[in-house]
């Protein structure tokens, strides 16, 4: 329905922007909501991940998005395992 009104290119661009903003935001909120003490046994740093994702998303967009995917796919499961 949206593609009929706006055209497929606009819908794809809108979805790309939504994902490009949503994933880094989700990663930063998730990292900020985890206790700092959980990052040490997971061999990581809370401040480092929040800063890297936020700064690189603001500077380049795509690098921040990639870092957010790395955090959500690799670091978040380790944190969940430590917090159990």
Q: What count of residues does the chain have?
A: 84
Q: What is the average per-residue pLDDT within 39-44? A: 91
Nearest CA among 53, 40, 29, 27 for reference residue 79: 40
What is the distance between the alpha carbons of residues 12 and 56, in angstroms, rounded to a whole number?
23
Give the pLDDT score at 15: 87
Give the structural domain span for 71: 2-83
Long-range contacts of 1-9 (CB under 8 A, 24+ apart): none
pTM assigned to the model: 0.84
Name the token pair of 73: 């796919």
pLDDT digits (tens, 9 = 90+) for 16-26: 888 889 999 99
**52 burial via Cβ count (<10 Å: 0-12, 13-18, 19+):** buried
| Number of structural domains the chain divides into | 1
């Amino acid at each position: 329905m949206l593609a009929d009104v706006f055209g497929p290119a606009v819908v794809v661009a809108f979805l790309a922007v939504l994902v490009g903003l949503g994933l880094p935001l989700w990663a930063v909120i998730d990292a900020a909501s985890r206790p700092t003490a959980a990052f040490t046994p997971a061999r990581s740093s809370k401040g480092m991940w929040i800063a890297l994702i936020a700064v690189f998303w603001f500077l380049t967009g795509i690098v921040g998005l990639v870092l957010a995917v790395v955090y959500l796919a690799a670091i978040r499961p380790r944190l969940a395992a430590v917090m159990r």
